[in-house]
Structure 1
Amino acid sequence: MSSPCDPQHAPVGDVSGALMMIDSQLKAVYDGKTRPDAEQRELVHQFAASLGPEGIDDLLDGACTLVYMYMQWLRRAYESHDKDVIEYVVPSLVGSMRAMTRSIRPEAVPTMAGLLAAAGSGLSPSLWRRQYGDWTPHEMTSLEATVFLLADHVNRLTEDRDFATRLVSDALAKAEAP
């Protein structure tokens, strides 16, 4: 029986834009910057402002697609070692989110945990979240942090700082190939 949250029914969104934002954050952290500099924050703000409401929705869907892609890659990686992705990834990321009290409000953590569990179970994070109404501003920041933490988890697992970005870039290139 097909679920209304099946990924085949989900919008892909602006995966490239979401990946660009996450990749720039990863690079900043890996370069030792604990906070993005003023220039980077301004560029991200200008980029988001240029999108408009529909573009922001596409960026949110793109971020959810990244969550799905990373959780599916992690699911396969953990299953190859007879481990469950939800058991090994979700608690770790939730713990990290709970420690990020300046960026993530406590009430957004359960939503992000649900988003991760949905993606780890093979459901579309976008469609799973949509059933609860519109995104709140606090959830947008939390979603960004969730994608960042997932990408970092993938990079740490592979011991390659660019693996998560390359994983998605390669998938995008294959999808666009004739």
Structure 2
Amino acid sequence: MSSPYHPEHAPVGDVGAALMMIDSRLKGIHAGRTGTDPEQQVLVQQFAASLGPKGVDDLLDGACTLIFMFMTWLRKAHEDHDKDVIEYVVPNLVATMRMMPKSVRPEAIPTMAGLVIAAGTGLSPNLWRKQYGDWTDEEMTPLEATAFLLAEHINRIADDPDFATRLITEALTRADEF
């Protein structure tokens, strides 16, 4: 019996917009900018405001799809080495988030860990989260941080600062071919 949280039941959302936001953060970090660039924050806020309610929902679903895709890649990479993705990724993610108290409030960490565990076990993160109600404003930055940290983790494993972005771009390109 298929779980109601299986990805086949989940909206994909706007993966392109979510990837653009994560890639922008990755490039900012690698360019040596630390902290939140006020100009970029204004641009992100303007972008989010231009989306409207449906667009924001699509962006949230897209971020969850990214988390699912990143965790799928990480799970396969860890299985190739007879390792459990949950055991190796989640503690590192939680520890990193705990070092980011201005961006990720402590009460958001269990939810973000749950999203990652759901994705790592083949469940849709957005459907898993939906069972607890609507997204809160306080979860927006931690959700972005979660996708960012997973992408950065993948980039470090691959020893390539653009690998995670390329991974998703190539998957989107292949999906368009069908």
Quickly name the TM-score band, shorter chain normalised.
over 0.9
Provide Cα deviations, 1:126-151, integer angstroms capped at 9, x if missing partner. 10000000011111111000000000
Structure 1 residue aligned with 2:158: 158
For structure 1, which runs of at least 5 residues remain unmatched after alignment?
none
CA deviation after TM superposition for structure 1 residue 177, in Å: 1.3
Q: 2:41, 2:111 → 1: CA distance? A: 25
Contact kept, 8 Å, 1:71 with 1:120, in 2: the verdict is yes
Q: 2:97, 2:115 → 1: CA distance? A: 13
Q: 1:101, 1:67 → 2: CA distance? A: 21
Q: Write the mapping of 1:57-72 to structure 2, written as runs, cut at 5 A.
A: 57-72=57-72
Structure 2 residue aligned with 1:3: 3
Q: 2:122, 2:21 → 1: CA distance? A: 24
1:92 aligns with 2:92: yes
Which secondary structure does the structure 2 equivalent of 1:126 belong to?
helix
1:110 aligns with 2:94: no
CA deviation after TM superposition for structure 1 residue 44, in Å: 1.1
1:172 aligns with 2:177: no
Q: 2:127, 2:39 → 1: CA distance? A: 34
Q: 1:91, 1:52 → 2: CA distance? A: 35
TM-score (norm 2): 0.98
Q: 2:22, 2:36 → 1: CA distance? A: 12
Q: 1:77, 1:63 → 2: CA distance? A: 21
Misfit runs of 4+, over 6 Å: none
Q: 1:143, 1:174 → 2: CA distance? A: 26
Report the number of matched residues: 178
> What root-mean-square deviation, in Å, do the aligned CA atoms of Structure 1 and Structure 2 show?
0.8
CA deviation after TM superposition for structure 1 residue 39, in Å: 2.5
Q: 1:56, 1:35 → 2: CA distance? A: 24
Q: 1:44, 1:141 → 2: CA distance? A: 11
Letter in 1 for 2:173: A
Q: 1:12, 1:151 → 2: CA distance? A: 18
Which secondary structure does the structure 2 equivalent of 1:113 belong to?
helix
Provide Cα deviations, 1:73-110, integer angstroms capped at 9, x if missing partner. 00000000000000000000011011110011111000
Q: 1:102, 1:35 → 2: CA distance? A: 10
Letter in 2 for 1:140: M
Structure 1 residue aligned with 2:139: 139
1:56 aligns with 2:48: no
